[in-house]
Copies of this chain bind each other. A is one copy, B any other.
Amino acid sequence: MALFVQKYGGTSVGTAECIEAVAEKVCGFRNKGHDVVVVVSAMSGETNRLIDLANSITEEPAPREMDVLVSTGEQVTIALLAMALQKRGCEARSYTGGQVSILTDSMHTKARIRKIDEQGMRDDLDAGRVIVVAGFQGVDENGNITTLGRGGSDTTAVALAAALKADECQIYTDVDGVYTTDPRVVDSARRLERITFEEMMEMASLGSKVLQIRAVEFAGKYNVPLRVLSSFQEGEGTLITLEENIAMEQPVVSGIAFNRDEAKVTISGVPDTPGSALRILKPVSDANIDVDMIVQNVGEDNRTAFTFTVHRNDFNRAKDVLQRVSDELGAREVSGDTKIAKVSIVGVGMRSHVGVATTMFEALSAEGINIQMISTSEIKISVVINEKYLELAVRALHSAFELEKPAVEETM
């Protein structure tokens, strides 16, 4: 007898048939005696339909009103799922974010959860009811409807699991778990049985779009065991948990993430004086451009070069900003390249193993792939390479770190 918080995303509840299938699954858990709190997203396509409606009225809708509008998407799903559960003789009750007391700050369209009053949910669970909660939404202290930002249903699920001290927060999605890398790129990519919160965060932010990074962060902070599973097929999925729960045999590298959404921008021939990094990056940040990797090389003539990566959508704006900065600083040149890709190896095992970087660089070199930038953290090494070598690089690294082989602990 456990308490599960389960989250079903937009494609899992995209049609009446899908909702019936989710109800069937939830009833299965109830019939085994488990308590279940279900968090659902809007039916796929619904949120976009609502946003289009708003845009047909104004290009700059007030965030408060956007929240009133888009929060209806999840409200439709909770009612339909509750009906589908009741039809199966499974007692259920639906709640909007406000009704279940998900109190947030007042930052409309990107609110953060402040507090959850779990007493009402406990009463329902004690009465044997399944609770169906609208994901992605809450209310502020004045009763205004807020939303947590797109994909925030994962965060709702984790927050409810934390508040209720659930045994597991299960995120049902259209993939059956977290893989060592994208199976569309590497045939032998393998589903991981377990991964740590930290690794998952690195994987998620690098483009393995299985889970919202905020949800993983939240789960890690409150130590909520998080499981990613498929809505459409049976399986154990991938359990995301604290490092201490991961067996000693954890492999050095857990997975290979990659990203081709970035572009790089270089400003070279910058007079090498204190504060130049700030004078270059502050205008970029002021222009609301997110910078990912930053590399500085010392050059000749007391001059230096900065290279950093930004989202490709921001490439032209970043170049314009830098050109202005370059003129002010008396730098030599601003250049850039959009045809790049970032490849990262991720693993908590790296911490205690030397030579991981060497293996990585050797594997790339053996394939004749030139490394343009390098950035490292405790559990991750990222390189920027020419975009055309992306698949080759991922396959070479997957094989170099023997990710196709199951780790010892995973055979237990």
Whether A57 and B72, one on each chain, are in contact in the complex, defined by CB atoms closer than 8 angstroms, is: no
Contacts of A68 in B (CB 8 A): 75, 78-79, 82, 94, 96
Closest chain B CB from A99 CB (angstroms): 6
The answer to the question of A61 belonging to the interface, with a C-beta cut-off of 8 Å to chain B, is yes
- For residue A78, which residue of chain B has the nearest CB? B68
Whether A54 and B72, one on each chain, are in contact in the complex, defined by CB atoms closer than 8 angstroms, is: no
The answer to the question of A24 belonging to the interface, with a C-beta cut-off of 8 Å to chain B, is no
Q: A58-B84, A76-B72 are in contact. Are A99 and B19 (CB under 8 A)?
A: no
Whether A54 and B80, one on each chain, are in contact in the complex, defined by CB atoms closer than 8 angstroms, is: yes
Whether B99 and A143, one on each chain, are in contact in the complex, defined by CB atoms closer than 8 angstroms, is: yes
Whether A61 and B83, one on each chain, are in contact in the complex, defined by CB atoms closer than 8 angstroms, is: yes
Compute how far the CA of A60 lies from the CA of B76 in the bound complex, rounded to whole angstroms: 17
Whether B76 and A58, one on each chain, are in contact in the complex, defined by CB atoms closer than 8 angstroms, is: no
Contacts of A66 in B (CB 8 A): 79
Closest chain B CB from A76 CB (angstroms): 5
Whether B83 and A54, one on each chain, are in contact in the complex, defined by CB atoms closer than 8 angstroms, is: yes
Whether A56 and B94, one on each chain, are in contact in the complex, defined by CB atoms closer than 8 angstroms, is: no
Q: A53-B16, A57-B20 are in contact. Are A75 and B78 (CB under 8 A)?
A: no
Compute how far the CA of A84 lies from the CA of B20 in the bound complex, rounded to whole angstroms: 37
Contacts of A75 in B (CB 8 A): 68-69, 71-72, 75
The answer to the question of A277 belonging to the interface, with a C-beta cut-off of 8 Å to chain B, is no
Whether B16 and A56, one on each chain, are in contact in the complex, defined by CB atoms closer than 8 angstroms, is: yes
The answer to the question of A65 belonging to the interface, with a C-beta cut-off of 8 Å to chain B, is yes
Whether A80 and B76, one on each chain, are in contact in the complex, defined by CB atoms closer than 8 angstroms, is: no
- For residue A72, which residue of chain B has the nearest CB? B72
- For residue A15, which residue of chain B has the nearest CB? B56
Whether B82 and A65, one on each chain, are in contact in the complex, defined by CB atoms closer than 8 angstroms, is: yes
Whether B82 and A58, one on each chain, are in contact in the complex, defined by CB atoms closer than 8 angstroms, is: no
Contacts of A165 in B (CB 8 A): none
Describe A's contact surface by its main secondary structure: helix
Contacts of A54 in B (CB 8 A): 79-80, 83
The answer to the question of A44 belonging to the interface, with a C-beta cut-off of 8 Å to chain B, is no
Contact of A50 among B20, B62, B76, B87 (CB under 8 A): B76
Whether A62 and B83, one on each chain, are in contact in the complex, defined by CB atoms closer than 8 angstroms, is: yes
- For residue A84, which residue of chain B has the nearest CB? B57
Whether A83 and B99, one on each chain, are in contact in the complex, defined by CB atoms closer than 8 angstroms, is: no
Contacts of A58 in B (CB 8 A): 83-84, 86-87
Whether A65 and B94, one on each chain, are in contact in the complex, defined by CB atoms closer than 8 angstroms, is: yes
Contacts of A84 in B (CB 8 A): 57-58
Per-residue 0/1 for A26-55: is the Cβ within 8 Å of any B Cβ (1 yes, 0 no)?
A: 000000000000000000000000100110
Compute how far the CA of A19 lies from the CA of B61 in the bound complex, rounded to whole angstroms: 14
Whether A80 and B69, one on each chain, are in contact in the complex, defined by CB atoms closer than 8 angstroms, is: yes
Whether A62 and B76, one on each chain, are in contact in the complex, defined by CB atoms closer than 8 angstroms, is: no
The answer to the question of A190 belonging to the interface, with a C-beta cut-off of 8 Å to chain B, is no
The answer to the question of A93 belonging to the interface, with a C-beta cut-off of 8 Å to chain B, is yes
The answer to the question of A260 belonging to the interface, with a C-beta cut-off of 8 Å to chain B, is no
The answer to the question of A214 belonging to the interface, with a C-beta cut-off of 8 Å to chain B, is no
The answer to the question of A312 belonging to the interface, with a C-beta cut-off of 8 Å to chain B, is no
Per-residue 0/1 for A79-102: is the Cβ within 8 Å of any B Cβ (1 yes, 0 no)?
A: 110111011000001101011000
Closest chain B CB from A378 CB (angstroms): 45
Contacts of A145 in B (CB 8 A): 96, 99
Give the residues from 145 to 196 in chain A that come closer than 8 angstroms, CB to CB, to chain B: 145
5 contacts between A and B (CB under 8 A): A57-B83, A64-B94, A68-B96, A75-B75, A99-B144
Q: A50-B76, A54-B79, A58-B84 are in contact. List 4 more A-B contacts (CB 8 A).
A: A60-B87, A71-B75, A96-B145, A99-B143
